Amino acid sequence: MPMSRRSPRLAGRFCSPFVRSAGNAAARSWSGRSGRCTPIGPHATIFRRPDDLRTGVREVVNSFVKPWGAQGFQVIDPSVLDLLNAVARNAPDNAVDLIAGAASFHQIDQVWTLAKADQGGAIISALRREAGRIAPTIGRLAKARRRVASDSGGVGYYGPTYERRLATIIEMVQRLEAPAIAELIAPAFERLLEEWRTERPQINDAVEWIRAIDGAPPLMMTNVDGIRGAVLDAVLEEARTGCRADELRELLGVVDTEQARREVAVARESFARYQQDHFLQDLSECRSREQFSGLIEDLELFRDQLDVDVRAMIERVEEANAEFAEQEDTYADHMHDEWQERYRDERAGDRSIADMFGSLRGNRS
């Protein structure tokens, strides 16, 4: 990812040697000169050497980052992310550069998450000011291919779903109020429809997109109702073929169960399929008392919103929860007994050693 021309100035303010080395190397590559001392601001001077980049990478590999893919790095030390977040907040133009030079939409998502945080106001302002500059990268990566064929003949999926990408763009339109970003919605939506011709919709991400579009400024978009209706219809049809409890719960959050009769009818069919095909799987995946309670809350929501009978299902969950609690208590008792036995053995061993040294002292006397 191309770094900002401001990044060396930031690097000079931090004590970390690897940051300075990387900043020095970046400054050299931008200016096209090497081995010279160049003042770049009132607070820092960058010393550049031909081996700065190699030195910087060698210092951080397998301690702060590790190679990922052909040209990427993955952060393995959370302090590096904290440093990058602080840099972006203190000098928000760097966040603009990160989006403009992003290699995947996941990177855009990460910067946008930072911008939406409580202390991200300066980043929002910078992105709004530079909306025309970041829009081409966002538009290109929003349509980038997600389905990747593996060498073994299988298929993998890379990066956020197209539903998630659209949700991020809608949020940007809402927060940045930038026409250049709003113009990206239509082509990204066309890419989503193209994806749906061969792939199944991702229910939770699509629901997130619907929520985002409900909160978007109406003047920044055209045919909002038509787009929303098309997405909701696709998600409802997907849920009709089978969905998990969390997916049905999220879907009900964007369906008007008091007015939309057709949508409610489809949701009831989705619940019937869930009850038949997926309920026992959800129940078997519960691994804590909180998860059992969450499943009961979902079932109660289905009862209230769809007017369906869930009494037998709730009884099954309560029985499984009671069995789980009993097993958990039994395991805790077993571990306590094992600890006590191990403690007694250690005490006995300590006493035998003490007796041995006591006998040695008695022999010397």
Report the pLDDT averaged over residues 159-187: 91
Residues 6+ apart with CB under 8 A from 358: none
In the chain, the number of structural domains is: 2
The candidate with the shortest Cα–Cα distance to 279, out of 227, 338, 320, is 320
**Residue 104 sits in the same domain as residue 227:** yes
Tally Cβ neighbours within 10 Å of residue 69. 8
Residue 141 in this model has a pLDDT that exceeds 90: yes
Computed over every residue of the chain, the mean pLDDT equals 78
Look at residue 117 in the predicted model and tell me its pLDDT. 86
Q: What is the mean pLDDT of residues 136-159?
A: 86
The predicted model gives 14-32 an average pLDDT of 37
- Say whether both 129 and 207 belong to one domain: yes
Under 8 Å between Cβ of 343 and 335: no
35-44: list long-range contacts, CB under 8 Å, 24+ apart.
40/8, 40/9, 40/12, 41/9, 41/12, 43/9, 43/12, 43/13, 44/8, 44/9, 44/11, 44/12, 44/13
| Residue 150, domain extent | 92-241
Q: Which carries the bigger pLDDT value, residue 209 or residue 24?
A: 209
* Adjacent-strand bridge partners of 72: 68
Residue 181 located in a structural domain: yes
The more confident residue out of 136 and 21 is 136
Listed range (41-45, 145-149, 205-209) with the worst mean pLDDT: 41-45
What is the pLDDT averaged over residues 240-269? 89
Q: How high is the pLDDT of residue 34?
A: 38
C-beta separation of 52 from 20 below 8 A? no
- Same structural domain, 123 and 235: yes
At residue 326, the pLDDT reads 83
Q: pTM, whole model, 2 decimals?
A: 0.67
Query: Which stretch, 19-23, 153-157, 238-242, has highest mean pLDDT?
Result: 238-242
Q: Is residue 62 part of a domain?
A: yes
Helix (H) or strand (E) holding 177: none
- 148 & 216 share domain: yes
Other Cβ atoms within 10 Å of 118 Cβ, number = 5
pLDDT tier at 87 (50, 70, 90 boundaries)? confident
Q: Of the candidates 87, 110, 129, which is a domain's last residue? A: 87
Q: What is the pLDDT of residues 311-329, one digit of tens each?
A: 999 999 999 999 988 877 6
